[in-house]
Amino acid sequence: MAIRLKFRHAAALGIIAALSIGMVGCSNSGDTSATNSTTTSSGGATNSGKKIVMGFSQIGSESGWRTANTESIKSAAEQAGIDLKFDDAQQKQENQIKAIRNFITQGVDVIAFSPVVETGWKPVLEEAKKANIPVIVSDRRPDVPDDLYVTFIGSDFVEEGKRVGEWLAKDMNGKATIAEITGTPGSAPANDRSKGFEEAIKAYPGMKVVFSQTGDFTRAKGKEVAEALLKSDVGKSINALFCHNDDMALGAIQAIEEAGKKPGKDIVIVSIDGVHDALQALVDGKENFVVECNPLLGPVIMDTAKKVLNHETVPKRTVMKDGEFDQTTAAKALPDRKY
**Ramachandran sector of residue 173 (left: φ over 0; alpha: ψ -120 to 50; beta: rest):** left
Q: What is the model's pLDDT at position 315? A: 97
- pLDDT of 263-301, one tens digit each? 999 999 999 999 999 999 999 999 999 999 999 999 999
Beta bridge partners of 88: 58
Beta carbons of 291 and 189 less than 8 angstroms apart: no
Residue 242 CA to residue 183 CA, distance in Å, equals: 11
Question: Which residues of the chain register pLDDT less than 70?
Answer: 1-49
Q: What is the model's pLDDT at position 29? A: 30
Q: What is the model's pLDDT at position 133? A: 98
Q: What is the model's pLDDT at position 338? A: 81
Q: What is the model's pLDDT at position 9? A: 39
Q: What is the model's pLDDT at position 246? A: 98
* Helical axes 276-283 vs 246-258, angle rounded to 10°: 40
Residue 161 CA to residue 192 CA, distance in Å, equals: 7
Residue of 211, 331, 220 whose CA lies nearest to 278: 331
Q: What helix, strand, coil percent values describe the chain, rounded to 5? A: 40, 20, 40
Strand 53-58, strand 110-113: pairing: parallel
Task: Please state the domain extents for the chain.
Answer: 2-154+296-320, 157-293
Residue type, 266: D
Q: What is the model's pLDDT at position 50? A: 77
Torsion of CA 70, 88, 214, 172, to 10 degrees: 0
Question: Does CATH number 3.40.50.2300 belong to domain 2-154+296-320?
Answer: yes
Beta carbons of 27 and 36 less than 8 angstroms apart: yes
Question: Does CATH number 3.40.50.2300 belong to domain 157-293?
Answer: yes
Question: In 3-state terms, what secondary structure has residue 40?
Answer: strand
